[in-house]
Structures are given as structure tokens and as C-alpha cells.
Amino acid sequence: MQFKLFCSDIDGTLLNKDRQLSPRTIAAIKRIDVGVPKVLISSRMPKAMRHLQEELEILSDPLIAYNGGLILDYLGEKPVSLLSVEIPLTIAAEVVEFNKKHSFHTSLYHNDEWYVPAMDYWAKREWNNTKVEPSVANLNEVCEEWSTRNIGPHKIMCMGEAKEIDQLLEFLNAKYSDQLHCYRSKDTYLEISNKKISKLSALQVLIEKKYDCDLSEVIAFGDNYNDVEMIRGVGHGVAVANARDEVKAVANQLTENNINDGVAKVLESFYS
């Protein structure tokens, strides 16, 4: 198979059980033709993706962060934003206010800014997972400062007891179901983004603005609910064995799970 763009989700797809790139995966991606862009696409912030790009030696390729909410191109001295879709700041402030009667953790993200109210269990866990240290700040003050810059969060992540996340999800769905996409990767995790974006829509924007190819010429790998549209929409969508059934149902191909180098095994079959 000849494809003109390689695209992969990170957590649960590309990384192993230690949340690292295995030597086999690195070698397999480096075997892809030099002229084929290699694009990482994730719910992560850009800073949590750059060290992986460095390992793969693809620092000049763009990346898609926040499930499609931000596309950054690194060809020049400074990254250029090809797409930025934020959550209205008023909604972010309302989530912060809602949490005053609850005890879940709230993280606010904009580009490479990540703010947490305290270095609690959840903040430390994400720090360990992503290799990025958050900034501790009063989230009300963060919202006020962002308002002076006329920006909002690319992502809000709330983590805590399942019951509290249930209550938050019910609140958001009742008020903002037409504006927000609420993605629950686990019972204790809720990732909030603008409803206008998805990994597939961001991939379409990237191709339109930068590459001479079509979605039918893209190979993409994924594992979770936020990968379904992308896996279904590209020319060759691959689901790892640990993927959700919804991802497997729309994939063109299944491979082994992430901890057994599923992505590498597919690439090796193309680039022996």
C-alpha cells in the first residue's frame, strides 16, 4: 500500500505500557519514506508531544493537539498555528465555579499553558504520564488573565470520583450539549472541548492547508472513542487490539495491542 501521510494517536496506541515509544516502534516509523509526513494526533498538549517527535526525528512535521483543537506547524523558528478552536471562556469559568461545591480536579489548557489549582494526586499523575509539569494557580485568576488576552481553553480536563464526574457531565449536557464535546475516557476522567472539532476535521484542515493529498491516501492508527471518526474517515484506518469495539468496527485493519508494538507491525509489513 502507498500512502502519503502517516497519522497516529499516542496514548493507548503508539506508546507501550510504560508510556514510551519502544525501539521497534521508533525504527518502524523511521522506515517510512522521507517525503511522507508523520503526524502525531492526540488529546495531549503540544509540549507533551514534542519529546516524542524528537525521538522519532520528526520535529519539522506538524502536530495536532487537543483532539483536533490546535494544529501547530514547526517549519519556521516559531510554531505557526494552522487551526485554533477554543472553548468559550465563560464556560470554563462556569466549570470552575461549579467545582466550588464539588471536589473533582480541574485542569485548564491553552496551547502550551497548563494550569492546576494544586499539585494534587491527579496533577501528579498527569505530570508523570505526559512528562510535562503544570503551573499551580488560582483558576479564577487564570480565567481573568485569559480574558485580557481574549483567549479561552483548548481543553478542560476534570478528574475525580465517578459520581462527581457524573454530576458535572449531567450539568454540562443540560446547558451546553450544542457547544461542547465531553469525552469520557474513563469513569474518573472527563475531557471537554469545543464541539466543532474532531481529529478527522483537524486532519482535513491540515491536508487542505499544507499537503497535496486526499484523506483516502492517509493511514491512521487509534484506539479510543475520539479516534472513531478519524479511523472511519481515512483511506486506511487501523485499530490496535486494545481499541474500543466502536473503533474496531470501523477499521480497515486490526493489529496487535499497543504494548506488543501493534503500530510497528503494520508498518513493517509495508516497509520490510
Q: Which residues are catalytic?
A: 9
Q: Which of 196, 192, 109, 186 is nearest to 153 (CA)?
A: 109
Sign of the dihedral through C-alpha 172, 174, 177, 179: negative
Q: How far apart are CA 42 and CA 11, in angstroms?
A: 8
**According to DSSP H, which parts of the chain are helical?**
23-30, 47-56, 89-98, 121-130, 139-149, 162-176, 199-210, 228-233, 245-250, 262-270
Largest CA-CA distance found in the chain, in angstroms, rounded: 57
- Those residues with Cβ within 8 angstroms of residue 246's Cβ, 6 or more apart along the chain or in another chain: 225, 228
